[in-house]
Amino acid sequence: MLSLCKRRGFIYPAYEIYGGIAGLYDYGPLGTALKANIADLWRRIYALQEGFVEIDGDNVGPEAIFKASGHVDNFADLSVTCKQCGESYRADHLAKGLHPNPDSLSIEELQKVLRDNNVKCPCGGEFADVEEFNLMFKTKIGPGNGRTGYLRPETAQSIFVNYTNLYRHCREKLPFGCIQVGRGFRNEISPRQGVIRLREFNMMEAELFVDPEDKSWPRYNDVKDKVVKLVPNTDEKEVEMTIGQAVEDGIIGNQTLGYFIWVTYDFLTSAGIDPAKLRFRQHLRTEMAHYAADCWDAETLISFGWTEIVGIADRGCWDLSQHMKFSKADLTAFKRFDEPKDVERDAIKPKFGALGPRFKGAAGDIKKQLEAMDASAVHDDLVTVTVDGQPVDLDSTYYEVVRVKEKVNGVRVIPHVIEPSHGLDRILYSCLEHAYSEKEDGYITLKLKPAVAPIKVGVFPLMAKDGMEVVAQALDKALREEGVATYYDDSGSIGRRYARMDEAGTPWCVTIDYDTLEKGDVTIRDRDTSEQLRMSADDVVPWIKDQLKRKLSC
């Protein structure tokens, strides 16, 4: 498989002439086209069918956003490995009790603490040196001691930090969605398995911002009878059931998750993933990220076993809350009531006659604080406000409780995020494996779906003489003018040319023969059946275009 990838120009190991680097691969000419076609198919579904907007964020970002997202802390552990049994331990955990505050120590200090106390592995073996396991690539932004920056480990954060802009762009209504195709970077400790675990990888992520109290989805009814293979975390057994049934039984958390499980199924199978080798596995409670309410992975069966290629997570309000906390920006949505409500409440009204003389300039701020409260904040006649960072208790000389009638038009909520996140490299590789077909005599055909195939049509004159090559070149040009990727070939025997196109995954080959010169018709050969269709040369362009058309499923 990997030899075909290299031979035919799908995937090359990166920097090969310098010895190569593990976890980095380059896409060759066909691989690049295949990747672009898969991404394009994905956009057709998410942008055209679902109507989501798309952005393109930066790869490098300041430390603050990865502090907020949790990646700085979760991705950077100091650890040691036992030389004897190979077990790894968090170095700061081993230093507990030997130092008052082990997680504040640098690598060298921690090393010294462990050495001085002769800390050994439970198996009795010696530990190797303390190492930093930081899965993010660190860099400096700007010259000199510029700000610390990181290459993003996932693309999602670019969408979250743009939430306010996107919320306005999408006319301040929930639900809305934003997609992004881009790169993520993780300095994996030991990448293996070819393009399955990469240090630099391509992701296609969608972030859907939904009402926390209403996770229904407008077109849910269109998909609720669709059947998918699920592996729920309750008994970890494969079951086939409809989306509707799974949502009703509470196996899938909500309608939106269910809807996008189907959208994912539809996308993956359209891209060429074999439905028989595709399932959706629910994360175990222990496996789930701390913020996730529910999470389903699309897994395909490839030579490395069942492999996660898409994760569909209900991330709750975690991301936006974190960024609100760290950035102080307001990342909420305004939920307008159908009818404005008249609400009566006991409000706290400041008495400026007393506040002003005592607090001077701070009185304005206190007013704001008091207005944000209501009578329930009063305990024993006292209400607590913050002045210059210090809590101050105010008695009723400074305020009065009054009954007010207010018209409330809605409430502000932090939207919940549902995230279908796709590993583009893994999807591409799965498509290649599922398309790969080898006959007993070693004849290889890549049965890529026409939609994603790098080359759509091979154009051949039966022989490069008697004017056949002229007609073929004209047809080739006509196809390219319509945006169809072609490959013109007049070398060697016709069989060799077919074989070449079969290995490249080209779905159709058009051949110009002597009959074409007389009657104007050509043959179109189908890659998978090698059957030939005869049609007028003029019909080729519309026929191919019709074959490539994709209907929206919802």
Partner RNA sequence: GCAGGUGUAAUCUAGCGGUCAGGAUUUUAGCCUUCCAAGCUAAACACUCGGGUUCGAAUCCCGACACCUGCACCA
CB of 77 to RNA, least distance (A): 8
Q: How far apart are CA 79 and CA 128, in angstroms?
A: 10
CB of 412 to RNA, least distance (A): 27
Count of other CB atoms within 10 angstroms of residue 319: 26
Binders of RNA among 134-163, rule CB under 7 A?
135, 153-154
**Which one of 30-38, 142-150, 161-169, 507-515 is the stretch in contact with RNA (CB under 7 A)?**
507-515
Q: How far apart are CA 268 and CA 181, in angstroms?
A: 16
Q: How far apart are CA 113 and CA 102, in angstroms?
A: 9
CB of 14 to RNA, least distance (A): 9
Q: Determine the size of the site formed for RNA (CB under 7 A).
A: 61
Question: According to the binding rule CB under 7 A, does residue 21 interact with RNA?
Answer: yes
514, 520, 533, 535: residue in contact with RNA (rule CB under 7 A): 514
Q: How far apart are CA 273 and CA 265, in angstroms?
A: 9
**3-state secondary structure (DSSP) of residue 345:** strand
**Which one of 6-14, 278-286, 321-329, 406-414 is the stretch in contact with RNA (CB under 7 A)?**
6-14
Q: Is 334 or 514 the residue whose CB approaches RNA more closely?
A: 514
Kind and range of the H or E run holding 299: strand 294-302
Tell me the C-alpha to C-alpha distance, in Å, between residue 342 and each of 311, 408, 507: 43, 6, 65
Count of other CB atoms within 10 angstroms of residue 435: 19
Q: How buried is 372 (Cβ within 10 angstroms: 0-12 exposed, 13-18 middle, 19+ buried)?
A: exposed
Give, in degrees to the nearest 5, the angle at Cα 133 between 127 and 138: 145
Q: Is 222 or 236 the residue whose CB approaches RNA more closely?
A: 236
**Which one of 138-146, 162-170, 329-337, 499-507 is the stretch in contact with RNA (CB under 7 A)?**
499-507
Q: Are strands 176-185 and 200-210 parallel, antiparallel or unpaired?
A: antiparallel
106, 165, 409, 532: residue in contact with RNA (rule CB under 7 A): 532
SS3 letters across 75-134? HEEEEEEECCCCCEEEHHHHCECCECCHHHCCHHHHHHHHHHCCCCCCCCCCECCCEEEE
Binders of RNA among 284-313, rule CB under 7 A?
289, 304, 311
Q: Is 23 or 61 the residue whose CB approaches RNA more closely?
A: 23
Q: Is 2 or 47 the residue whose CB approaches RNA more closely?
A: 2
CB of 486 to RNA, least distance (A): 16
Q: Is 434 or 525 the residue whose CB approaches RNA more closely?
A: 525
Phi-psi region of 58 (alpha: psi -120 to 50; beta: other; left: phi over 0): beta
Question: According to the binding rule CB under 7 A, does residue 503 interact with RNA?
Answer: yes
CB of 532 to RNA, least distance (A): 5
Question: According to the binding rule CB under 7 A, does residue 498 interact with RNA?
Answer: yes
Q: How far apart are CA 392 and CA 398, in angstroms?
A: 12
SS3 letters across 452-483? CCCCCEEEEECCCCCCHHHHHHHHHHHHHHCC
Q: Is 353 or 442 the residue whose CB approaches RNA more closely?
A: 442
Q: x-or-dash pattern for RNA, window 62-91, by CB under 7 A?
A: --------xx--xx-----x-x--xxx---
Q: How far apart are CA 383 and CA 401, in angstroms?
A: 11
CB of 291 to RNA, least distance (A): 8
**3-state secondary structure (DSSP) of residue 343:** strand
Q: How far apart are CA 463 and CA 492, in angstroms?
A: 9
Number of H helices, E strands in the chain: 19, 28
Question: According to the binding rule CB under 7 A, does residue 233 interact with RNA?
Answer: no
Q: Is 224 or 416 the residue whose CB approaches RNA more closely?
A: 416
35, 186, 367, 434: residue in contact with RNA (rule CB under 7 A): 186
Question: According to the binding rule CB under 7 A, does residue 523 interact with RNA?
Answer: yes
CA dihedral 251, 257, 262, 267 (to 10 degrees): -140
444, 478, 485, 554: residue in contact with RNA (rule CB under 7 A): 444
Q: How far apart are CA 220 and CA 243, in angstroms?
A: 9
Q: Count the residues in the chain.
A: 554
Cα 168–chain centre separation: 23
CB of 147 to RNA, least distance (A): 22
Question: According to the binding rule CB under 7 A, does residue 491 interact with RNA?
Answer: yes
494, 541, 548, 554: residue in contact with RNA (rule CB under 7 A): 494
CB of 185 to RNA, least distance (A): 10
CB of 114 to RNA, least distance (A): 16
340, 467, 492, 542: residue in contact with RNA (rule CB under 7 A): 492
47, 373, 499, 554: residue in contact with RNA (rule CB under 7 A): 499
149, 177, 194, 253: residue in contact with RNA (rule CB under 7 A): 194
Query: Which residues of the shown chain bind RNA in the complex (CB under 7 A)?
Result: 3, 6-7, 13, 19-23, 70-71, 74-75, 81, 83, 86-88, 128, 133, 135, 153-154, 186, 188-194, 197, 289, 304, 311, 442-444, 462-465, 491-496, 498-500, 503, 511, 513-514, 522-523, 525, 530-532
